[in-house]
Amino acid sequence: IDRLIGDNRKLDATKILQVSYQASDPELIQAVLDSARDRYLKYSLEERTTGIDEAVRFIDEQLPELREKVNLYQSQIQKLQQEYELINPQVKGEQLYTQISTLENQILDTQRELPELRKKYETLEAQLNLAPEDALAASALSESPTLAQLRTKITEVESKLAELSPIYQSDTPEIQQLQQEKANLQRLVDQETQRTLESSAATVQNPAIYSFQNSTRQQLIAQLVEARNQSQVLEVRLTNLQQLKQTLEQEAQDYPIIARQYNEAQKQLDGTNQLLDQFLTQREKLRVERAQDNEPWKIINQPHVETNDQGEILSIAEDSSKKLLAASVLGGLLLGMGLALLLEKLQNIFYTPQDLREDTAFPMLGVIPRYKQSGMTHFFRLPSAQAGSALALPHQSEFEDAFDSLYANIKFQYADFPLQSLAICSAETGDGKSTVALHLAETISGMGQHVLLVDANLRSPQLHVNLGLPNQKGLCDLLTDHNVDPKVLVQSAAGIENLFVLTAGQPSSAAIKLLGSAQMLQIVEEFQNTFDFVIYDTSELKHYKDAVFLAGHLDGILMVVSIAKSRKTTVEKVLAEISRFRLSCLGTVGNYTQRNSPASFPR
């Protein structure tokens, strides 16, 4: 068993296997080759189904936690809605400030009307020389029918006395009888007056209340009482309006906190629901794919026994002339396979940046030139680096310009959608994504932005080695321990201003499974609130889906493709999966290119 290869290095490491078997029994040869064919096809199917089963199992492990998070956020939202009568925070906030504005206008109107009524009240009180209560009592006495009748009778008695007084002496029975009648009537007047006064709040000390109030004074009394009543109503209204305004202002002061809690819970709920839907959709797709009984490997040439013109088994142990004949026969039989191999190999590699730009559906955002430097894996633009120092890089200007152009394309091509978090991905290992992540972060930090570089390659972390940083704790600890403060684990990159690093920490399977969790989403959001730009180095996408789950929380993916190394079929498969998962792929980066390679990409 061997891989078909050619003299050209570009044909090495193909994906086509050639199975040969030599024996004297044709039936045995055919049986062995058929068995090998069936076993390889079965193996390829088992390999595919095993990968699908692992992906489904991973999703099933995430679903309970996601559903628990959904219930938690729904409970938080429901509690806020019930406690604060909150349905829509934006509408509620607008209503609240509208109510406060309306109250302010009502308070101003009341404060303007109240002095006018008080002035009118004081003027009427001075004209009548009566307090409102006394004026009411005087009015009541003047309007009492009983008192009016009694006063009329007293007037009649007084008239009779006036007529008889010149005729009779005061001690005569006629005069005394009239005087007694007048006294009785006056006593009744006093009793009725007392009863009327007791029903009012008038002060009996004010003798003016006993004076008869004519119609003009009655009108003034009515205006006085009305002014007093309206003033009291306005005073009560003003107090109530001020108290209500104070209550609403306190509520408005507390409302941003409540609205932020509501919006945060709603955001977490939406994000978790979206992630849950993606998991469920992907699980169904995987199950459908699992149910399809298609072998991933294909047979190019069916197993058969090679024979000569006489029908005899072709032996490779004959003399040189027969060996040459056998080689010619085998060469003819395998000509189609060889041509297929050659075509497959020639078409399955990105040999130039032009190939990458033309053969993928995503824009190529940059080309990174190859460099070689003993003892140093990365360069940094330190102010103290001299041309001949250990940090100096051959063709450094070209290398720096490549990353400047890459960042410019990312920044300006997506200016309408400002990016704050980015996953640097690749289809396979060795494509240079860690190099791109590191130097892109260094380039952005050199422009004055605070940049965080996160090593999210929890299977094979490298950034701490490249930067010479300790890796006792890192992202793994943030994922598995909610009590860890991210600020404690973030480190400064030595000698690079504005660049900060979060290493991976000690890798664990538990942490890897949490890259797509709500906990990771909270970490991402906290970093975005702290730093201007966050770059995540990730695991390769051919064998692992870690970066896929992480990228669901980020603004986009930058796909690194190694020129003259990366297989087209592998890259295209990975890009197709990214599109199927509805993740945002910003574009590709051609990496490890020779200095004279074409670099046709947008600047």
Name the amino acid, one letter, at 522: Q
pLDDT in tens, 401-412: 888 888 888 887
Q: Assess contact for 467 and 493: CB atoms under 8 A.
A: yes
Helix residue ranges per DSSP H, 292-386: 320-333, 335-347, 353-359
* Distance, C-alpha 207 to centroid of its chain: 80
Whether the predicted pLDDT of 510 surpasses 80: yes
Whether the predicted pLDDT of 455 surpasses 90: yes
Sign of CA dihedral 176, 178, 183, 184: positive
Per-residue confidence band for 169, with pLDDT thresholds at 50, 70 and 90: confident
pTM: 0.45
Lowest model confidence (mean pLDDT) among 161-170, 236-245, 417-426, 531-540: 161-170
Lowest model confidence (mean pLDDT) among 287-291, 402-406, 519-523: 287-291
pLDDT on residue 26: 78
For 125, 159, 164, the CA distances from 175, given in Å and listed in that order, are 44, 12, 7
pLDDT on residue 481: 87
User: Closest by alpha carbon to 586, among 273, 277, 321, 364?
Assistant: 364
**How far is residue 443's CA from residue 449's CA, in Å, rounded to a whole number?**
10
Helices 396-413 and 433-445: angle between axes, nearest 10 degrees: 80
Q: What angle do CA 40, 46, 50 make, to 5 degrees?
A: 150
pLDDT on residue 537: 94
Q: Assess contact for 366 and 406: CB atoms under 8 A.
A: yes
Q: Assess contact for 50 and 339: CB atoms under 8 A.
A: no
**How far is residue 211's CA from residue 495's CA, in Å, rounded to a whole number?**
102
Name the amino acid, one letter, at 551: A
Average pLDDT of the chain is 76
Whether the predicted pLDDT of 515 surpasses 60: yes
pLDDT on residue 157: 75
pLDDT on residue 384: 35
**How far is residue 305's CA from residue 21's CA, in Å, rounded to a whole number?**
9
**Which residues, 6 or more positions from 280, have their beta carbon under 8 angstroms from its beta carbon?**
63
What is the DSSP code (8-state) at residue 328?
H
pLDDT on residue 342: 44
pLDDT (average), residues 430-458: 91
pLDDT higher at 17 or 346: 17
Per-residue confidence band for 600, with pLDDT thresholds at 50, 70 and 90: very low
pLDDT higher at 383 or 467: 467
pLDDT (average), residues 70-89: 83
| Residue 369 CB neighbour total at 10 angstroms | 19
pLDDT (average), residues 490-498: 88
Give me the percent of the chain exceeding a pLDDT of 90: 13
pLDDT on residue 343: 46
Please give the torsion angle defined by the CA atoms of residues 478, 65, 456 and 426, in that order, rounded to the nearest 10 degrees: -170
pLDDT in tens, 119-149: 887 887 777 777 766 666 666 655 666 666 7
Furthest C-alpha separation in the chain: 189
Lowest model confidence (mean pLDDT) among 47-61, 147-161, 221-235, 379-393: 379-393
Q: Given its phi and psi angles, is residue 582 left (phi above 0), alpha (psi -120 to 50 degrees) or beta?
A: left
**How far is residue 496's CA from residue 176's CA, in Å, rounded to a whole number?**
126
Q: What is the CATH number of domain 348-375+386-593?
A: 3.40.50.300
User: Closest by alpha carbon to 600, among 356, 362, 383?
Assistant: 356
pLDDT (average), residues 583-589: 90
How many CA atoms within 13 Å lie on the side-chain side of 465?
Answer: 9
pLDDT on residue 147: 60
Domain coordinates in residue numbering, the chain: 1-16+301-347, 116-254, 348-375+386-593
pLDDT (average), residues 257-268: 82
Lowest model confidence (mean pLDDT) among 47-51, 148-152, 177-181, 578-582: 47-51
pLDDT higher at 424 or 342: 424
pLDDT on residue 296: 60
pLDDT in tens, 565-575: 888 888 988 89
Per-residue confidence band for 454, with pLDDT thresholds at 50, 70 and 90: very high
User: Closest by alpha carbon to 93, among 256, 244, 241?
Assistant: 256
Q: Assess contact for 478 and 489: CB atoms under 8 A.
A: yes
Facing residues of 589 across strands? Answer: 366, 560
**How far is residue 162's CA from residue 39's CA, in Å, rounded to a whole number?**
149
pLDDT in tens, 156-166: 777 877 877 77
pLDDT higher at 427 or 25: 427
Q: Assess contact for 410 and 586: CB atoms under 8 A.
A: yes
Whether the predicted pLDDT of 398 surpasses 50: yes
Q: Assess contact for 186 and 154: CB atoms under 8 A.
A: yes
Whether the predicted pLDDT of 302 surpasses 60: yes
The CA-to-CA distance between both ends of the chain, in Å, stands at 48
pLDDT on residue 596: 39
